[in-house]
Structure 1
Amino acid sequence: MKHPVNDFQVLNTVSDYVRFYEMAAPLHPLLTILDLSTTRVRAALTAEEWARLYTPVVPQLYTVFLKRNLKGTLYYGHQPYDFSEGVLGFSAPGQVFTIDPSLDISEVTGWMLLFHPDLIARYPLAKKMASYSFFSYDLHEALHLSAQEETMLDGLLAGIRTEYERPIDAFSQDVLVSQLEVLLNYANRFYNRQFITRRHGENSLLTRFEALLTAYFAQEGTRPLPTVQYFADELAVSPAYLSDMLRTLTGQNTQQHIHHALIDKAKQLLLSTSLTINETAFQLGFEYPQYFSRLFKNKTGLSPAAFRISVQ
């Protein structure tokens, strides 16, 4: 269900976040660590407190959260999974958080790490954030941790917490940022492991993607160029998750798969029809034929015209 725009509460800073949920003030202006076992929902809340809890919020912050003992079924790409064990999730600034009233979080444990983009703005990590595509995954695409992985991440968080609780000095930000990068690199490793260990479910997703891709280019007539977002929507996953899954299982991301199918279709049209190069480009969904010619030559080493001649 979509909420009216005025129902959203934008939380621009770490202080805004903890103030909104009536939590303890942060020890650092750009980062905080929350113990989820101390922020459980109490049995008796006022109407105002319940309204605040279920208000959709838009934190302008990065969040990393490890949650245990959530009661109820959540989904990982259409498949139900037990979230009673450790589940690691991520979100980037500007993403909407909403608590479903049907989800029992009365016994939830774990932690949440929130940090403002300004914390890493002057460090190489700021540019590297785009490579951590799991910040764009949906909640049902969270990382399910093994006991060993969970212990390792708890240890990394303990190191961050120790620095967080120290008095701020000239080295505080350097140390925090370096520790954050280590944690994110481990998360990257663990997600890659998950794509492999959950191979049955991911192979099913791969099969469905390949079927959609084949069906799209098998249709006759002119259609728009397919986008990564189109296939992600059809498969009910996020674009970032789909690309990472495909890259792990096939070595190519979603856009590369689309280009491969597109070039195959282009070759078919060039060899089996009398369409001009421009007409072929329009048939494939290109608005500008020169873009088609450039992509075709980049992928095959030949221009469309040269390819057509080469096989005659």
Structure 2
Amino acid sequence: MKTTQTDPIMIRSITDFCDLLGHPKPEHPLLTMVELTCGANYPELPGNKLIYDFYTVFIKRNVKGVMKYGQKEYDFKEGVMGFSAPKQVFMIDGLDPSTEITGWFLAFHPDLIRKYDLGKKIKDYNFFSYSVNEALHLSDKEERMIEKMMRDIRTEYQQPIDAFSQDVMVSQLDLLLTYCNRFYNRQFITRRNAEESLLNKFTDVVSAYFEQEHIDELPNVNDISAQLNVSPHYLSDMLRTLTGQSAQQHIHGHLIEKAKELLLTTNLSVNETAYRLGFEYPQYFNRLFKNKTGVTPAAFRNN
């Protein structure tokens, strides 16, 4: 069947990935490193969606054209680091094949790390769920450190495979991702002014929900993050760094304060209060209120 601009291109293996880029067959079936160099010929894939069945870690510079990751766009003129997990969608639109792309592209299959601690720990790295416009911006020193670790991984998989090869490569991957996590947390701190502005916007959006006369449904992290044009994981990580609480905890905090106000200043019953706050089932409201305050809504009102 002929591929159209709306048909996603499934890239199921590391070998398929190398074929797509016009690179030789990978030296290891579950992991490869591709250096993006000036003057290389990259395939023309205007408007096509790419879906990888593996993880990627990449540093890209000087990409001319619009690259989308999920539904977001990002300008790759500056060197930035990005990540993707299996089944996520990329789309390249208007890419100039003659562009002088530079950087690195590391791809590894989940089977490589499945039996190791990293196979479980990788789910805790939220940056694999971030959209590209929340990419990691590296200093020159940090970029050199990351590239050295990538080269070390490449050097290892180019060696003849023995009983220790996979252990060594997974350990190197673990170290690489630990440093990435370190730099991401550093980025939240060094960009504090920008993140505090995002915190203020988040607070305004949540407050507006609870200022309504009647709330049709409770606000959720996905809807609020969409309004703020960031991913849910990024929003929660930012809030934890600045306040020690996740986005969901902040929403619950606003909810409980509004509930207390209604319980003390109106004649609404507890059930009516729950419906006013967007709860379909009052027992859920009672359970959340007691969990957050230590008492039931009725006991709070009586006290």
Amino acid at match of 1:16: D
Aligned partners of 1:296 and 1:35: how far apart in 2? 54
Residue in 2 that maps onto 1:281: 274
Amino acid at match of 1:261: H
Q: 1:273 to 1:186 in 2, by over 3 A?
A: same
Residue in 1 that maps onto 2:62: 69
Amino acid at match of 1:137: Y
Residue in 2 that maps onto 1:190: 183
Structure 1 residue 265 corresponds to structure 2 residue 254: no
Structure 1 residue 243 corresponds to structure 2 residue 226: no
Shift in Å, 1:135: 0.5
Amino acid at match of 1:181: D
Alignment of 1:42-191 (within 5 A): 49-50=43-44, 52=45, 54-71=47-64, 83-101=76-94, 106-191=99-184
Residue in 1 that maps onto 2:33: 33
Deviations 1:16-45 (A, max 9, x none): 222233321111111111111168346xxx
Shift in Å, 1:109: 1.0
Residue in 2 that maps onto 1:21: 21
Aligned partners of 1:99 and 1:189: how far apart in 2? 29
Deviations 1:80-120 (A, max 9, x none): 99844431100111111111215677111110001111111
TM-score (norm 1): 0.88
Give structure 2 stretches of 5+ with no counterpart: none
Conservation of the 8 A alpha-carbon contact between 2:6 and 2:47: no
Q: 1:248 to 1:73 in 2, by over 3 A?
A: farther
Residue in 2 that maps onto 1:10: 10
Aligned partners of 2:300 and 2:5: how far apart in 1? 52
Aligned partners of 2:110 and 2:39: how far apart in 1? 24
Corresponding residue SS for 2:280:
coil
Conservation of the 8 A alpha-carbon contact between 1:133 and 1:240: yes
Amino acid at match of 1:162: T
Aligned partners of 1:219 and 1:54: how far apart in 2? 41
Amino acid at match of 1:217: F
Amino acid at match of 2:31: L
Corresponding residue SS for 2:217:
coil
Residue in 2 that maps onto 1:45: none
Conservation of the 8 A alpha-carbon contact between 2:5 and 2:47: no
Give structure 1 stretches of 5+ with no counterpart: 43-48
Corresponding residue SS for 1:99:
strand
Conservation of the 8 A alpha-carbon contact between 2:5 and 2:46: no
Residue in 2 that maps onto 1:46: none
Alignment of 1:193-272 (within 5 A): 193-272=186-265
Q: 1:41 to 1:54 in 2, by over 3 A?
A: farther
Amino acid at match of 2:238: M
Q: 1:13 to 1:41 in 2, by over 3 A?
A: same
TM-score (norm 2): 0.90
Amino acid at match of 2:284: Y
Conservation of the 8 A alpha-carbon contact between 1:69 and 1:105: no
Shift in Å, 1:269: 1.3
Shift in Å, 1:304: 1.0
What CA RMSD, in Å, does the superposition of the two structures yield over aligned residues? 2.4
Conservation of the 8 A alpha-carbon contact between 1:36 and 1:108: yes
Amino acid at match of 1:28: H
Conservation of the 8 A alpha-carbon contact between 1:10 and 1:59: yes
Aligned partners of 2:39 and 2:49: how far apart in 1? 17
Aligned partners of 2:143 and 2:173: how far apart in 1? 16
Deviations 1:178-211 (A, max 9, x none): 1111111111111111112122222221111111
Conservation of the 8 A alpha-carbon contact between 1:67 and 1:88: yes
Shift in Å, 1:5: 9.1
Amino acid at match of 1:67: K
Instruction: Give the total of aligned pairs.
Output: 297
Conservation of the 8 A alpha-carbon contact between 2:67 and 2:93: no
